[in-house]
Amino acid sequence: MFFGLSEEQEQFQDYVKKFLADNVTVDEIRKIANGEDEALAKEIYSGLINLGINALLVPEEHGGLGADLLSAVAVAQGLGAGVGPIPFAGAYVMAPIAINLAGSDEQKAKYLPQIVSNETKFGVGLSEYVAAREDAGIDLSGGKANGKALFVIDGDEADYFLLANKGGVLFLVDAKDKGIEINKLTSVDKTRSYLELNLKNVAAEILLESENNPEIAKKVLDAGRIIFAADSLGASESMIEKAVSYAKERKQFNRVIGSFQAVKHMCAEMASDLEPCYAMLWQAAHSFDHEPDEARLQACQAKSHISEVAKMVSKKATEVHGGMGFTDLLGLHYWFKRIGLNRQLLGGPELIREEAAEIQGFNQ
Amino acid sequence: MDLNYGAEYEDFRKEVQAFCKEYQGVSFKSDSNVVADALNSSSATKKSKKEVTRSEWQQILIEKGYIARAIPKEYGGYGGETDIIKSRIIATEFSKAKVPGGMGGQGIDMLVPTLLEWGSEEQKQKYIRPTLHGEMIWCQGYSEPNAGSDLASLQTKGELIDGNWVINGQKIWTSTAQYSQMMFCLVRTEPQAPKHSGISFILIPMDTPGIEIRPLVDMTLKAGFNEVFFDDVTVPEENIVAKRGEGWSVANSVLGHERGSLADPNATMNRLNTLINMMKEQTIDGRRLIDIPSYRDRLMQVQGKVMASQAHSLRLLSSKINPGQNVKLGGMIQKLVGTELRHELEGLAIDVLGEIGTLYEDSPYLKEDGSFQFTYMYFLGLIIGGGTNQIQKNIISERGLGMPKEPKVTEAS
């Protein structure tokens, strides 16, 4: 019996953390977030691709690493910890899982190796499937998609978009299709892209198995939620580390502020609420691949619970930094905002808890 | 990640499940004098009656190795090896089948491990067996009116006079003192030494002349504490555990045992299930409580926390089996997180019951024997006791996060 990340998974996570720590300082994050250094953004992106994060979930027969979701979670924790300004949850987790579970043999053979070579990039928009806001929603008929997809992630350089209709039918559209109008949305979190797609008679390549089996879309959703939870966990871990080390240096009243119980207790509260989240997250990821009966509930609860803890951490860690925590100069807000976006993506805690209740047959 | 315990352990699980099935519904006779009788009765009689005394039950569990597993046979234990996975399987299966576990209490949970670590051979021979079998009940004499969180400032005095310890002073928050045969007590024996090294760990028979027990009723009006007064209480010199002045170290090893046992995730999961079932049965205006969205959302929030803490306990288990696995401050948070969570869970049950939730004791309309109110209050006691949760936060921030201690305040005259 071994409960935790394997040595390999920890190592992979360490590579990601180290790469980000070495290459992406707060100043650099700021430049990328403000769109001031495209070259740097590309360099970081390709540096992480060189580590192989894109190939993780692609089966070995299609040239990938054939790893399980827990490995992707290990990476996502690292990306969250360093607010990695690159696509991941959509492009390299949800897309390969969707294609692998719902695609035909031809589709798998076509797309999966291209994810490994990163020749083809996928943006992912499942928001309408979870909870359609405004007038979003996609109508799928006669092989054509019409309507609007909001809050599409990982789409900045996408060649294809993975979308779903309300019934959970998954399909791909070509980003170059003339019927697609792409608008950028600006969220508080400028480390990741966010799009609106307006589709008029766009050719939809349906991932057929998702039509027969509505559980597949849910599975893809679970994976995405677990990855966002992992990202928030990593970001929270970093925020606590930063708060603790700041509190050990900053002096007021001739003492380091970390010797005041008011400050110590905030740090202890953050750490002790976050600590059980590691196990919760890893268990959810493990169940995703190995314990199907537990998987959906654990994915929902991990996303909603970790989002709540991360929100608390993002607030308290900022407070520990005092006025500096509030400044752009320190850049702590990139972590704060990362947690803020993760919380809402693919369903905020209240919506997901309703789903968790439904899974257990509680709300009749 | 590998959540399998392996075939050997699955066999063990089946054995425990069979045992639990046999003893499902077992209940306790109150009369402890019938121990010997019952022990000689056939297992068939036991099974049909399913009524045993507490000490019989202890005996049955020790024979199976379900409790006292790693305690040597010569001291009345099972004489096996410590096996964390087996302990876990036992706890899980007993909890699932709602079969009562072994006795708890200060003696078994705290004194026995302490004596095994610090006691003399005579002390081990004399005290461990009757304690394990529920024949010797212990209470803990640590806190004093002026020594609570700052326990090491305790003032109860012990003087060695003519081969006896003569003890004077007062203890407080002493649960089970009125039932106990023995107390393990922290006493200041070296008044000249610095405060942490002037304390000794002394075993005191509760029928010694000069001991007065006064009940101190807590807010639940059920579980009782006591104040215990010592007036020239005289016990033999050999009743000291470890050396003079080592009491603080001895006590710290015991507190470690206590903190681990305060918040059992299996028990919390059982309470969550009780709450869920109640919310499916009870209604407001004919509508099930679980169908009311705001109640349901709070239930789901608590479920999330319970699931996190269950998973966390698996991770801690794994770290004990796999040396080198780093759980950072994973163990340190258990008392804080576990007691707060349980208090929240019980409080939610009261809220969804509304006015019904306020009922207590033997009131009509009482649900679950009033256990939600009782446990809600009881866990507030645990949040304060065993090292307050504020003290826990100091420990987590200092030892877990490496933050500096509060500077010492120079004593005002």
Please tell me which residue of chain B has the smallest CA distance to A255: B407
A72 Cβ under 8 Å from any chain B Cβ? no
**Helix/strand/coil for A253:** coil
pTM for the model: 0.92
B330 and B384 together in one domain: yes
Cβ contact A244–B402 (<8 Å): yes
Task: With respect to residue B355, please indicate whether it lies within any of the assigned structural domains.
Answer: yes
B241 and B274 together in one domain: no
Q: Residues in chain A with pLDDT < 70? A: none
Chain B hits for A3, CB-CB cut-off 8 Å, are 1-3, 314-315, 317-318
pLDDT at B303: 98
A215 Cβ under 8 Å from any chain B Cβ? no
Confirm or reject CATH 2.40.110.10 for domain A122-212, answering yes or no. Answer: yes
* C-alpha closest to that of A309 among A259, A350, A272, A347: A272
B241 and B172 together in one domain: yes
Cβ contact B304–A248 (<8 Å): no
Q: Domain of residue B145: give its range.
A: 111-120+137-247
Catalytic residue numbers of B, as ranges:
258
Taking the C-alpha atoms of residue B55 and residue B37, their distance in angstroms, rounded to an integer, is: 12
Q: Which residues of A183-212 are buried (b: 16+ CB within 10 A; e: fewer)?
A: eeeeeebbbbbbbbbbbeebebbbbebbbe
Answer yes or no: are the C-beta atoms of A306 and B361 closer than 8 Å: no
**Helix spans in chain A (H):** 7-23, 26-33, 38-50, 69-81, 95-102, 105-116, 127-130, 209-212, 215-249, 261-290, 292-320, 322-325, 333-344, 349-359
Task: With respect to residue B410, please indicate whether it lies within any of the assigned structural domains.
Answer: no
Taking the C-alpha atoms of residue B382 and residue B340, their distance in angstroms, rounded to an integer, is: 9
- For residue A246, report the phi and psi dihedrals to the nearest 5 degrees: -65, -45
**Nearby residues of B194 by Cβ (< 8 Å), 6 or more positions away:** none
Task: With respect to residue B125, please indicate whether it lies within any of the assigned structural domains.
Answer: no
A241 Cβ under 8 Å from any chain B Cβ? no
Chain B hits for A255, CB-CB cut-off 8 Å, are 407
- pLDDT category at B262 given cuts 50, 70, 90 is low
A250 Cβ under 8 Å from any chain B Cβ? no
**Helix/strand/coil for B251:** helix
Retrieve residue A27's tokens: 């100043």
Chain A hits for B319, CB-CB cut-off 8 Å, are 4
B238 and B326 together in one domain: no
DSSP assignments along A65-123, one per residue: ----HHHHHHHHHHHHHTT--S--IIIIIIHHHHHHHHS-HHHHHHHHHHHHTTSS-EE
B274 and B390 together in one domain: yes
| A118 C-beta neighbours (distance < 10 Å), count | 17
Taking the C-alpha atoms of residue B132 and residue B116, their distance in angstroms, rounded to an integer, is: 13
Chain A hits for B332, CB-CB cut-off 8 Å, are 272
Chain B hits for A286, CB-CB cut-off 8 Å, are 1, 3
Cβ contact B1–A2 (<8 Å): yes
CATH number at residue B391: 1.20.140.10
Taking the C-alpha atoms of residue B38 and residue B34, their distance in angstroms, rounded to an integer, is: 6
B303 and B388 together in one domain: yes
A268 Cβ under 8 Å from any chain B Cβ? yes
Percent of chain B with pLDDT over 70: 92
CATH topology of domain A215-359: Butyryl-CoA Dehydrogenase, subunit A; domain 3 (1.20.140)
pLDDT at B103: 86
CATH topology agreement for domains A7-116 and A215-359: no
Chain B hits for A271, CB-CB cut-off 8 Å, are 329, 333, 396-397, 400-401
For residue B297, give the nearest of A260, A268, A353 by CB distance. A353
- Residue whose token pair is 């026995």: B112
State the nearest Cα–Cα gap between A245 and chain B, in angstroms. Answer: 9
Taking the C-alpha atoms of residue A259 and residue B404, their distance in angstroms, rounded to an integer, is: 5
pLDDT at B46: 44
pLDDT at B338: 93
Cβ contact B303–A248 (<8 Å): no
Domains contained in chain B, number: 3
pLDDT at B326: 83
A272 Cβ under 8 Å from any chain B Cβ? yes
- For residue A304, report the phi and psi dihedrals to the nearest 5 degrees: -75, -45
Chain A hits for B329, CB-CB cut-off 8 Å, are 271-272, 275
B298 and B356 together in one domain: yes
State the nearest Cα–Cα gap between B73 and chain A, in angstroms. Answer: 29
Taking the C-alpha atoms of residue A64 and residue A70, their distance in angstroms, rounded to an integer, is: 16
The H or E element containing residue B257 is helix B247-261
For residue B290, give the nearest of A269, A304, A362 by CB distance. A362
ipTM value: 0.96
Superfamily (CATH) of domain A7-116: Acyl-CoA dehydrogenase/oxidase, N-terminal domain (1.10.540.10)
Cβ contact A308–B333 (<8 Å): no
- Mean pLDDT of all residues in B267-273: 91
Answer yes or no: are the C-beta atoms of B268 and B91 closer than 8 Å: no
Dump pLDDT digits (tens) for B136-177. Answer: 999 999 999 999 989 999 999 999 999 999 999 999 999 999
Dump pLDDT digits (tens) for B327-375. Answer: 879 989 999 999 999 999 999 999 999 999 999 999 999 999 999 999 9
pLDDT at B253: 80
For residue A301, give the nearest of B304, B330, B397 by CB distance. B304
Exposed, middle or buried by CB within 10 Å (0-12, 13-18, 19+), for B345?
buried
**Nearby residues of A131 by Cβ (< 8 Å), 6 or more positions away:** A347, A351
pLDDT at B33: 42
Please tell me which residue of chain A has the smallest CA distance to B326: A4
Under 8 Å CB pairs connecting chains A and B tally to: 165
B237 and B309 together in one domain: no
Retrieve residue A204's tokens: 């939809």
- Mean pLDDT of all residues in B252-280: 78
Domain ranges (residues) in chain A: 7-116, 122-212, 215-359
Task: With respect to residue B257, please indicate whether it lies within any of the assigned structural domains.
Answer: no
Res B259 pLDDT > 70: no
For residue B393, give the nearest of A4, A268, A276 by CB distance. A268
Answer yes or no: are the C-beta atoms of A72 and A87 closer than 8 Å: no
State the nearest Cα–Cα gap between A198 and chain B, in angstroms. Answer: 35
Res B257 pLDDT > 70: no
Task: With respect to residue B254, please indicate whether it lies within any of the assigned structural domains.
Answer: no
